[in-house]
Amino acid sequence: MTMESTDMTQALSAPRSRKVSLPFARLGYGAAALALLAATGVLEGYELFLASSILSYAIAAMGLNVLMGYNGQISLGHGAFFAIGAYAAAICIDRFAVPFALTPVIAGIVGMGAGWLIGKPALRLEGVYLALATFGLAIATPTVLRSDLFAEWTGGVQGLFLLINPAPEWAGLDLDQSIYLAVVGYFLLFAFLTLRLVRGLNGKAWIATRDNPIAARAMGFDVTRAKTRAFVFSVLACSVGGALQAVAVQFVAPDSFPFFLSISLFTAVVVGGLCSPLVGPLLGAVFIVMVPNVTEEIWQGGSWAVYGGVIIAIMAIQPRGLAGMLGWVKGKLTTHTNRKQQTGRNRPC
């Protein structure tokens, strides 16, 4: 064996791809992380808010991509978990004066609990049935949030304004910068978790379950456990994303979580590119946050027609979404890349 032992971190992928891509990939990730951190000093005010917003949607999309891309389950209701995370964070701040940077942890725990409760029965459903059941969740969410029953905690129709304290003075950060840095921290954490899981045996279990559940069982994969883990991870990411979004906006209200939010998250995952673990969700988040604003400028009043048209165009050109387009461009630029891997249309992951 000639290819052994220099680097064992990628033992789960085949030797050649490991050899060529790993050092470059490491450098790329490091540079990207530094750039995100450095942006704290470059961007200001509204730009920082936009960036925080995009990254918190990207966290949610990363998780949802594990569920939809890697594990092949369709959800049209993850906006509900985004809302649960947002409200958990808001109540933590409003009631218990929890430091804002810690609220995603609590939101994540609350969200996972809800995800597990809902996931248990929901995961008996497959394909369009799961999609519809989760969609029901999304539709019910705003009404529940608005209801007088919980108004004492949720603020009812009015919602909650959040009083957020910036980082301590010695850190020299204003409020926008403090929030942005916390968001970047969670984003990097989820990027790391997602990559490790997706490239590890859990990723194999997710893909095997999606590709051929019968063969997956015959190979000893616990299909139910794989599905549950994907679902719970997606819910965790969505509730953390929701918490960070609430912190960034400093306000939650039922109208911030319409069922359309679930469709937006779905759109971010698919338009970004299924099974591109980081780049896809990030591009997808940029898409759902920025594109509606841009199209509004192009054609006031008709912006949704433009937005819809762009979605259709992307899917027609490259079903693997924006990440797929980026990969295609990269393939054109680098000559040494293996043809087979670039052209493998049947290889979403």
Partner 1 sequence: MRQNGNPLLEVRDLIIRFGGVVALNEISLEIHEQEILGLIGPNGAGKTTLFNCLSRLYRQSSGDILVRGETITPLGAEDMAARGIGRTFQNIALFETMTVYENVLTGAQFAMNGGLAADIFNGAKVRRERAETRERIMHLLSLLDLADIADHTIADQNFAVRKRIEFARALAAKPSLLMLDEPAGGLNREEVRHLEDLIRQVRDEFKVAVLLVEHHLNLVMKVSDRVVAMDFGQKIADGLPHEVRAHPQVLRAYLGEEAA
Q: Which is nearer to partner 1, 17 or 158 (CB)?
A: 17
* CB of residue 219 to partner 1, shortest distance in Å: 5
Q: How far is 102 from 306, CA to CA, in rounded Å?
A: 39
Tell which positions 137-176 bind partner 1, by CB under 8 A.
none
Q: Which is nearer to partner 1, 147 or 224 (CB)?
A: 224
CB contact set of 71 (below 8 Å; sequence gap of 6+): 206, 207, 209, 210, 226, 227, 230
Q: Does 216 bind partner 1 (CB under 8 A)?
A: yes
Task: Output the six-digit token pair for 60.
Answer: 């949610």
CB-based contact 140:71 (threshold 8 Å): no
Tell which positions 245-264 bind partner 1, by CB under 8 A.
none
Tell which positions 175-214 bind partner 1, by CB under 8 A.
193, 196-197, 199-205, 207-208, 211-212, 214
Applying CB under 8 A, among 221, 257, 266, 307 the residue interacting with partner 1 is 221
* CB of residue 345 to partner 1, shortest distance in Å: 8
Q: How far is 103 from 84, CA to CA, in rounded Å?
A: 12
Q: Which is nearer to partner 1, 5 or 335 (CB)?
A: 5
- Print the binding letters for residues 13-52 with partner 1: x by CB under 8 A, - otherwise: xxxxx-----------------------------------
Applying CB under 8 A, among 50, 311, 326, 349 the residue interacting with partner 1 is 349
* CB of residue 285 to partner 1, shortest distance in Å: 23
Q: How far is 183 from 14, CA to CA, in rounded Å?
A: 34
CB-based contact 134:75 (threshold 8 Å): yes
Applying CB under 8 A, among 220, 300, 333, 336 the residue interacting with partner 1 is 220
Q: Count residues binding partner 1 (CB under 8 A).
A: 47
* CB of residue 30 to partner 1, shortest distance in Å: 17
Q: Which is nearer to partner 1, 8 or 316 (CB)?
A: 8
Q: Residue 106 to residues 94, 98, 123, 161: CA-CA distances in angstroms?
A: 14, 10, 24, 19
Name the β-bridge partners of 252.
160
Q: Which is nearer to partner 1, 332 or 347 (CB)?
A: 347
Task: Output the six-digit token pair for 292.
Answer: 């509606």
Q: Which is nearer to partner 1, 165 or 212 (CB)?
A: 212
- Print the binding letters for residues 320-339 with partner 1: x by CB under 8 A, - otherwise: ------------------x-
89-96 — which CB contacts under 8 Å span 24+ positions? 89/242, 89/243, 89/244, 89/246, 89/247, 90/159, 90/160, 90/162, 90/246, 90/252, 91/153, 91/154, 91/160, 93/162, 93/163, 93/164, 93/247, 94/155, 94/160, 94/162, 95/153
DSSP code of residue 179: H
Which residue stretch of 2-10, 85-93, 241-249, 325-333 sits at the interface with partner 1 (rule: CB under 8 A)?
A: 2-10
Classified as helix, coil or strand, 191 is helix
* CB of residue 129 to partner 1, shortest distance in Å: 23
Chain residues that interact with partner 1, rule: CB under 8 A: 1, 3-5, 8-9, 11-17, 193, 196-197, 199-205, 207-208, 211-212, 214-223, 229, 338, 340-341, 344-349
